[in-house]
Amino acid sequence: MRLVRLFILCSLAVLLFAGSAFAQVHTSLEIRGDVNKPRSWTVDDVKKQFAGEIQTVTKTGRDKKESTLTGIPLISLLRAADLKLEETPKHYDYSFFVIVQANDGYRGYFTIAELTLDVKDSPTLLVWEENGKPLADVEQPFRLFTRGTSRSMHGIMHITLVDGNKLAARLEQRRPVRAAVEGNKQAALSEQGKSDGAFAQDDEYLKSLIERFRFYNMSHGIFAPVYPALAKQLVEDYGKTKGIAVDLGGADGSLAFALAKISELTVYNVDINPGATRICNVLTDRHQLTGRVLAIEGDATNLPLRDNFADLVVSRNSMIFWPDMALGVREAYRILKPGGVAFMGVGSPRTLDKETLQKLSDRAKENGRKMAPIPKDLPKQLSVFGIKQVRIIEGPDGSWWVEMRKPANAK
């Protein structure tokens, strides 16, 4: 039963990473999850990096006709992603799950153990060519083929790796009451007699996370009014109320929650700090925004998201910590859909009330803090890469924001 429960929860984990419409032709495969080297792979990328491991196999279809498939062992690609293991437990390969998602929503499940046969005899191949020709549009970018069968899984667009040991540990820590599991949170709360009692174990878990991520106290303290004001400004200025938004360096999800509550956006909250993403996951349940706010651990300069993914990209007070600001902004542009907009910067939105603005200003002066310098040369740096629609908006309090648009006809 425990293994079944893990498989079910792994399925739910994939939903956290689900993209938008499947109608378009996908050109890359995204590897993500519990790996040290998440990235997207095109067919050309795979051919180049794994040239010595390319195999050709013969498949016999249900109609008894034979065809020739070209690809590499799936395990080769997974090894390149470098599994994220804090330690190497015995038989870890039986508890590390590989969740494969196709562009029609179908999912397949493996363990690493099933894929780690000798590479030359590997039964599961990642295929990009049939009978010497590229796959049909509906099957791109890759097809998954298992030797000895006539069936295959086409249109592979996401592969998520999940450490089952970590997942099991998290389940043991949380254990919400039955009524909450069945989706009736209010009933669960009333059974306990107080609003937080039903989630006492969550409280302890959250408290332990906050000890390691102290910014939580600021985002829920003096900065708390900033996020609803910024969310309001974003919706008013850009009218992005449906589709996908991404908050880069979103910490514990304060802006993501504010955006989700006043729109129909699905918001991906990306932060490089694992403590921040775990806090965001806990708070998502409490805000009753499960499936609307999705926490992802990732680097703003190497995002684990596909091209043309988001309608809106936002970031507040994170850019100044990126090791390469221009690279991070280019990544934001890459994941924007044509017609999408990014709004990223430092400081307060213009919609913030004057009283709160003054409090923030006074606190900064008391602590001897100054606003980060304006990156005035950023538009010029980006223009070299063909990113033209960029402007810097300066606020009276020293705030500055980079507004960037992706043309509707961009490819």
Q: What angle, rounded to 10 degrees, do the helices at 254-261 and 226-238 form? A: 50
> What's the pLDDT tens digit per position in 162-192?
888 777 766 655 444 334 444 444 444 444 4
Hey, is 251 helix, strand or coil?
Answer: coil
Q: What are the beta bridge partners of residue 76? A: none
Hey, is 4 helix, strand or coil?
Answer: helix
> Tell me, what DSSP letter sits at residue 136?
P
List of E strands, 34-106: 39-42, 55-60, 66-73, 96-102
| pLDDT confidence tier of residue 255, bands split at 50, 70 and 90 | very high
> What's the pLDDT tens digit per position in 232-253?
999 999 999 999 999 999 888 9
d(CA 168, CA 4): 12
* Alpha carbon 146 to chain centroid, angstroms: 28
pTM as predicted: 0.53
Q: What are the beta bridge partners of residue 31? A: 39, 159
Structure tokens at 261: 């509550």
Average pLDDT value for residue range 87-91: 62
Tell me the domains of the chain and their CATH numbers.
2-166 (3.90.420.10), 178-212 (no CATH), 217-405 (3.40.50.150)
How distant, in Å, are the alpha carbons of 47, 168, 172, 185, 194 from that of 198?
Answer: 52, 20, 15, 9, 8
Q: Which secondary-structure segment (H or E) carries 361?
A: helix 354-366
| pLDDT tops 90 at residue 231 | yes
Query: Amino acid letter at 228?
Result: P
Average pLDDT value for residue range 26-34: 86
> Tell me, what DSSP letter sits at residue 137?
G
φ, ψ for residue 10, nearest 5 deg: -65, -40
166 Cβ contact partners less than 8 Å away, ≥ 6 residues apart? 34
Number of neighbouring beta carbons within 10 Å of residue 368: 6
**Residue scoring higher pLDDT (260 or 12):** 260
Question: Which of 6-20, 157-171, 278-292, 349-363 has the highest mean predicted lDDT (pLDDT)?
Answer: 278-292
**Residue scoring higher pLDDT (216 or 11):** 216
d(CA 408, CA 224): 35
Rg (CA), the chain: 23
> Tell me, what DSSP letter sits at residue 299?
B
